[in-house]
Amino acid sequence: MSADKRPPIISEQQRAVGRQAAVAGRRLRATLKQELRQGRIEFEDILRIARRDDERGRAAIRLRVGEVLLALPGMGPAQAEQLLARTEISGQRRIGQLGERQRERLESGL
Protein backbone atom coordinates (compact mmCIF):
# COMPACT_ATOMS: atom_id res chain seq x y z
CA MET A 1 0.00 0.00 0.00
CA SER A 2 1.14 3.49 -0.69
CA ALA A 3 1.43 5.97 2.15
CA ASP A 4 -1.81 7.77 1.28
CA LYS A 5 -3.89 4.54 1.21
CA ARG A 6 -3.06 3.25 4.67
CA PRO A 7 -5.81 3.01 7.24
CA PRO A 8 -5.65 5.68 9.91
CA ILE A 9 -3.54 4.91 12.94
CA ILE A 10 -5.75 5.01 16.00
CA SER A 11 -5.11 4.25 19.62
CA GLU A 12 -6.54 1.27 21.47
CA GLN A 13 -8.79 3.66 23.37
CA GLN A 14 -10.21 5.04 20.10
CA ARG A 15 -10.69 1.48 18.87
CA ALA A 16 -12.57 0.57 22.06
CA VAL A 17 -14.84 3.61 21.71
CA GLY A 18 -15.56 2.63 18.10
CA ARG A 19 -16.36 -0.94 19.12
CA GLN A 20 -18.74 0.27 21.82
CA ALA A 21 -20.50 2.57 19.35
CA ALA A 22 -20.86 -0.29 16.85
CA VAL A 23 -22.32 -2.62 19.49
CA ALA A 24 -24.74 0.09 20.64
CA GLY A 25 -25.91 0.61 17.05
CA ARG A 26 -26.45 -3.13 16.52
CA ARG A 27 -28.43 -3.35 19.76
CA LEU A 28 -30.64 -0.41 18.76
CA ARG A 29 -31.36 -1.97 15.37
CA ALA A 30 -32.18 -5.28 17.06
CA THR A 31 -34.48 -3.47 19.50
CA LEU A 32 -36.35 -1.78 16.65
CA LYS A 33 -36.86 -5.12 14.89
CA GLN A 34 -37.99 -6.73 18.16
CA GLU A 35 -40.54 -3.94 18.70
CA LEU A 36 -41.85 -4.59 15.18
CA ARG A 37 -42.15 -8.34 15.87
CA GLN A 38 -44.05 -7.67 19.09
CA GLY A 39 -46.41 -5.23 17.37
CA ARG A 40 -45.37 -2.30 19.58
CA ILE A 41 -44.46 -0.27 16.49
CA GLU A 42 -45.50 -0.52 12.84
CA PHE A 43 -43.69 -0.12 9.52
CA GLU A 44 -44.83 3.50 9.25
CA ASP A 45 -43.27 4.15 12.67
CA ILE A 46 -39.91 2.89 11.38
CA LEU A 47 -40.13 5.34 8.47
CA ARG A 48 -41.02 8.15 10.89
CA ILE A 49 -38.22 7.23 13.31
CA ALA A 50 -35.72 7.18 10.41
CA ARG A 51 -36.42 10.87 9.79
CA ARG A 52 -35.41 11.85 13.32
CA ASP A 53 -31.94 13.07 14.17
CA ASP A 54 -31.27 10.96 17.25
CA GLU A 55 -29.77 7.56 18.04
CA ARG A 56 -32.94 5.64 17.14
CA GLY A 57 -33.23 7.57 13.89
CA ARG A 58 -29.64 6.81 12.93
CA ALA A 59 -30.24 3.14 13.75
CA ALA A 60 -33.47 3.03 11.73
CA ILE A 61 -31.90 4.43 8.56
CA ARG A 62 -29.34 1.59 8.62
CA LEU A 63 -31.96 -1.18 8.71
CA ARG A 64 -32.40 -3.09 5.47
CA VAL A 65 -35.88 -3.02 3.97
CA GLY A 66 -35.99 -6.83 3.73
CA GLU A 67 -35.10 -7.22 7.42
CA VAL A 68 -37.82 -4.78 8.44
CA LEU A 69 -40.45 -6.55 6.34
CA LEU A 70 -39.50 -9.95 7.77
CA ALA A 71 -39.80 -8.54 11.30
CA LEU A 72 -43.43 -7.58 10.69
CA PRO A 73 -45.93 -9.94 12.34
CA GLY A 74 -47.51 -12.24 9.76
CA MET A 75 -44.99 -11.38 7.02
CA GLY A 76 -43.03 -14.36 5.76
CA PRO A 77 -40.20 -14.54 3.26
CA ALA A 78 -42.50 -15.25 0.30
CA GLN A 79 -44.82 -12.36 1.13
CA ALA A 80 -41.90 -9.99 1.66
CA GLU A 81 -40.38 -11.03 -1.67
CA GLN A 82 -43.69 -10.51 -3.48
CA LEU A 83 -44.13 -7.06 -1.95
CA LEU A 84 -40.61 -6.05 -2.90
CA ALA A 85 -41.15 -7.32 -6.45
CA ARG A 86 -44.46 -5.42 -6.77
CA THR A 87 -42.90 -2.21 -5.50
CA GLU A 88 -39.68 -2.77 -7.49
CA ILE A 89 -37.50 -2.18 -4.42
CA SER A 90 -34.49 -4.27 -3.46
CA GLY A 91 -34.65 -5.87 -0.03
CA GLN A 92 -30.96 -5.02 0.34
CA ARG A 93 -31.65 -1.28 0.31
CA ARG A 94 -31.49 0.49 3.62
CA ILE A 95 -34.45 2.45 4.96
CA GLY A 96 -32.42 5.64 4.70
CA GLN A 97 -31.81 5.02 0.98
CA LEU A 98 -35.51 4.98 0.10
CA GLY A 99 -36.99 7.91 -1.77
CA GLU A 100 -40.36 9.39 -0.90
CA ARG A 101 -42.16 7.51 -3.69
CA GLN A 102 -40.58 4.23 -2.66
CA ARG A 103 -41.70 4.81 0.93
CA GLU A 104 -45.23 5.52 -0.29
CA ARG A 105 -45.27 2.37 -2.47
CA LEU A 106 -44.16 0.22 0.45
CA GLU A 107 -46.71 1.76 2.81
CA SER A 108 -49.55 1.30 0.32
CA GLY A 109 -48.38 -2.27 -0.39
CA LEU A 110 -48.79 -3.21 3.25
CATH match of 12-109 with 3.20.20.70: no
pTM of the model: 0.84
Write the pLDDT tens digit of every residue in 83-106.
999 999 999 999 999 999 999 999
Q: How far apart are CA 108 and CA 28, in angstroms?
A: 26
pLDDT digits (tens, 9 = 90+) for 62-78: 999 999 999 999 999 99
Distance of alpha carbon 3 from alpha carbon 15, whole angstroms: 21
- 64, β-bridge pairs: 94
* Residue ranges per structural domain of the chain: 12-109
